[in-house]
Copies of this chain bind each other. A is one copy, B any other.
Amino acid sequence: MTEGVSIVGAGHAKFGKRADAGLRDLAHEAVSDLFNDTKLDKSDIDAVVIGVAGDEFNGQGSPSAVINTEIGLTGLPTLRVESACATGTAGIIAAWNMIKSGQRDSVLVVGIEKMTSVSSSVATELMARAGDIRWEYPFGVSFPGYYALIATAHMAEYGTTREMLSSVAVKNHHYGAKNALAHLPREITLEEAMSAVQIASPMNLYDCSLISDGAAAVLLTRDSIAKKFTDTPISIKGIGMGSDVQTMAQRESLTELKGAQAAAKEAYKMAGITADQVDVAEVHDCFTIAEIVAMEDLGFFEKGQAGPAIVDQQTYIGGKVAVNVDGGLKSKGHPLGATGVSQAYELRKQLLGDVGAGRQVDGANIALSHNVGQTGQFVNVLIYERGN
C-alpha cells in the first residue's frame, strides 16, 4: 500500500485566555471552522483522534467522549493520545497510521487544551508533574527551570547571548501581531524583551511561551479520495519521531535534543529532502532557547550558529528559512494539545498561499513542523508538501 495521506481541511479556534469557552467549546469552534472550510459531511469521517495533554486543567477525565458528543461525532472509532506538549502531532501521526494501514479512509484530528481554568501557578505546577515525580519534581524544578538549564549550557558552550534569546521573542511577536488567531498579537521591542522580569535565570518573561486555551483540527484522508474534499490537498511527506531519557541529569548534552535530531533525520529520509529545501517551519518555541536549539537540531544551522542567524534575521520571511511566522508558541500561544495541530493548520495555509500579506512565505513548497514534549522526551517532526 503505497498510497499517501493528505490534509484536506483544517480549522482553528482563537488562542487566548478564553473565559467564554471550555474544553468542549474550543473543540467545537475548531471543528466548526474545519467544516466551514471543507466540502464535508459528518458521514465522511471514519474515526476521530483526540489530543488533550492534561485532564487536571479542567477536571474532565478521559475527555474524548464529551468532546465527540459536543462536536456531534459519536459512534466513531476514537483514540485519545498524549505526548505532553507534542500531543497534537502525536495525534496527526496516529491518524496517518490509521489511514496508511488501510484501516480507515479519513480521520479527524482535534487537539485541544483549556489551561486558564486554573491559575498560572497551578498550571505551571501541573505541567511540572510531567517531570519525573521521583527525581525532578520534588526538588522544585518546573519547565522554565529545565529550559534555563539548556539556555545556560548553550550560552556557556556556544556564546549564545541575551540578545539572541530576545531576538527570537521579537521575531515571533512581530509575526504574531499579524495573526488574528494569536493569544498576544502585539509587537515587542528588543529592549522590552531584554529587560523583562526574570522567571528562571537566564529566562525572563519574554523568553517564555504562553499559558493559553485553544483548539485546532485537521482532516486527513488517503490521497485517492482527497479531491472529494478539496482541490488542494496538502501531502504528508515525512514523519519522524524521537524521544529521550526522562531526567535532564541523565542526558549526555544539554545543548541539543537527541530526540529532535532523530526525528528530523527520520522525517527528512522519508520525505527524500534535506533541511535546505524547507521553505517554512513551525518549531516548538516553548522558550526562546528552544527555538535556537531546534534550528540546530533540524539542521537549518550549524551548532552554535542559530543564535547569530536569528539576530541576522535569517529566520524572518526572506531569510534562509521562515520560522514561526504565525507567532509561534511565544505570541500565538501554547494550548498544549492544540499546538501541533495548529502548526499543521498554519503550514497548510502557507503552502496554499492563503495566509495574507505580511506573513505569507511566497511560493512555499515544503513545510516542516517540529513539536516537542517536555524537554525532548517526545519529539515529532512532520514534513508537508503541496499536492498536485
Residues of chain A having any CB pair with chain B under 8 Å: 1, 47, 53-56, 58-62, 64-66, 68-69, 74-84, 90, 93-94, 96-103, 126-127, 129-134, 239, 241-247, 250, 258-259, 262, 373-374, 377-378
Q: With the chains together, A243 CA to B73 CA distance in Å?
A: 10
Q: Give every chain B residue within 8 A of A246 (Cβ-Cβ).
A: 65-66, 68-69, 74
What is the CB-to-nearest-CB distance from A302 to chain B, in angstroms, rounded to a whole number?
23
Q: Across the interface, do A78 and B243 meet the contact criterion of CB distance under 8 Å?
A: yes
Expressed in whole angstroms, the Cα–Cα distance for A121 and B347 within the complex equals 47
Instruction: Contact check, A60 vs B133: say whether CB atoms are below 8 A apart.
Output: yes
Q: How far is the CA of A224 from the CA of B352 in the complex (A)?
A: 41
B55 touching A129, Cβ below 8 Å: yes
Total copies of the chain: 2
Q: A47-B241, A69-B132, A79-B81 known; 17 other A-B pairs, CB under 8 Å?
A: A55-B56, A61-B127, A61-B130, A62-B82, A62-B377, A65-B244, A65-B246, A66-B133, A68-B243, A68-B245, A75-B242, A75-B244, A77-B241, A80-B81, A96-B101, A97-B97, A100-B103
Q: Are B103 and A244 in contact (CB under 8 A)?
A: no
CB distance from A45 to the nearest CB of B (A): 12
Is A83 in contact with B81, judged by CB distance below 8 angstroms? no
Asked whether, in the complex, the Cβ of A62 is within 8 Å of the Cβ of B373, the reply is: yes
Chain B residues contacting A247 (CB-CB under 8 Å) are 69
Name A78's contact: one of B54, B69, B83 (CB within 8 Å): B83
Bound-state Cα–Cα, A58 to B53, Å: 16
